[in-house]
Structure 1
């Protein structure tokens, strides 16, 4: 009866003013309209049902097949039971994939308890079938658990749970994740649930030369005179650039020494320094040094090089 009440509340705007029949395989529910003694909850139900023009009709469970089909949890027959050409393909693939081929030998010799043979198929814990790396077997099974209409392009967890309930192979998680991530239908039709990106705002313009600078490294360059990287320093106000050759394995201490020798010595200490999250700039020595000297260090947001776009553009020209 609770189900009937719920459905009438959901479809109330469709059913008001129309006569309809409620068919149920619960014989006790079919007598609800003529029941004389009611509990407080049943009385509230009767008060709600008084709005509708309906008839409760009993139908035996054997004849109520439509409701039974809709009320049961859907199971994939092709996943729950191995049918068709799939067993043949799996059996054939076991002889071509070296990993299950070795497991079959161990199972035949009784040297493993995790795997066993049954009807030519290799099973593991949970009575899951080992799927060899052969032709498109694995990809076809992932497609069956993700693309078909009854699963409706579910996410990674649901797809993997459905697949792992009956099948097994090494790195199944990674393959399912890659397949779902690259599914064209999911990318085109699914709604983005992530929080939208914040408003991008330009950095404030400095009022004097060398008040604010941007700093970056170009590394992995061919060695020349013992140097394998370049420290790029750009003045935010005048766009003047200073390029300092550095050793390929330049440490934070060495970077600080070169910065003072080639920048601070000529232009003084800047008030603001904008850089990416390179280990040279995130080391405690570097941050504590400039904090002590009164300069503010600003790091760009991860995976957003446009924060330090001025230096990135100079880097591309310099390279």
Structure 2
């Protein structure tokens, strides 16, 4: 609702109620056969992504890895993987190293439960706030954020 209020705030108009029997044009438009509601495919098993990270955001994630100790260790390991370099990893990373991989300079984590790769976000407060804004609070995101 907030999204529509924001959209219509740009226009100057007045809404008047008209009973359906008097509003013939609107009734005809709302009943067009090509506007019929189609049932969702019962075999569909997911929701399509509506947005992808911008290239500048991905570049910022890549550069922030150098300031995150865990991410730096993992990226160094994947640059030249070996038993010796694996032993240099922190214990908590060594136990989960099989879940990670590097693709296009991004550190990815493969969650066991849904087998989907997720971008590892470095421990950088400003970067996390930016990501939260772009994918949570922005008007084009799936959620309208907080009321301030």
TM-score normalised per structure 1: 0.27
Higher relative contact order (CA 8 A, sep 6+): 2
* Structure 1: 4+ residue segments shifted above 3 A: 56-59, 73-76
Aligned to 1:120: 105
Partner Cα separation in structure 1 for residue 18 and residue 48 of structure 2: 29
* Secondary structure of residue in 2 paired with 1:17: coil
Partner Cα separation in structure 2 for residue 144 and residue 14 of structure 1: 42
CA offsets, 1:80-130, max 9 Å, x none?
A: x23230111111111222110001123341652111000110000221001
Asked if residue 87 in structure 1 is aligned to residue 72 in structure 2, the reply is no
* Secondary structure of residue in 2 paired with 1:123: strand
Q: CA RMSD in A?
A: 3.2
CA deviation after TM superposition for structure 1 residue 135, in Å: 6.4
Aligned to 2:23: 18
Task: Report 1:209-220 matches (<5 A).
Answer: none
Aligned to 2:144: 152
Match 1:141 to one of 131, 137, 141: 131
* Secondary structure of residue in 2 paired with 1:82: coil
CA offsets, 1:34-72, max 9 Å, x none?
A: xxxxxxxxxxxxxxxxxxxxxx5444xxxx7xx99xxxx
CA offsets, 1:197-256, max 9 Å, x none?
A: xxxxxxxxxxxxxxxxxxxxxxxxxxxxxxxxxxxxxxxxxxxxxxxxxxxxxxxxxxxx
- Structure showing greater radius of gyration is 1
Structure 2: 5+ residue runs without aligned partners?
1-16, 39-46, 87-96, 111-115
Structure with greater proportional strand content: 1
Aligned to 2:42: none
Partner Cα separation in structure 2 for residue 14 and residue 102 of structure 1: 68
Aligned to 1:99: 70
What is the aligned residue count?
A: 100
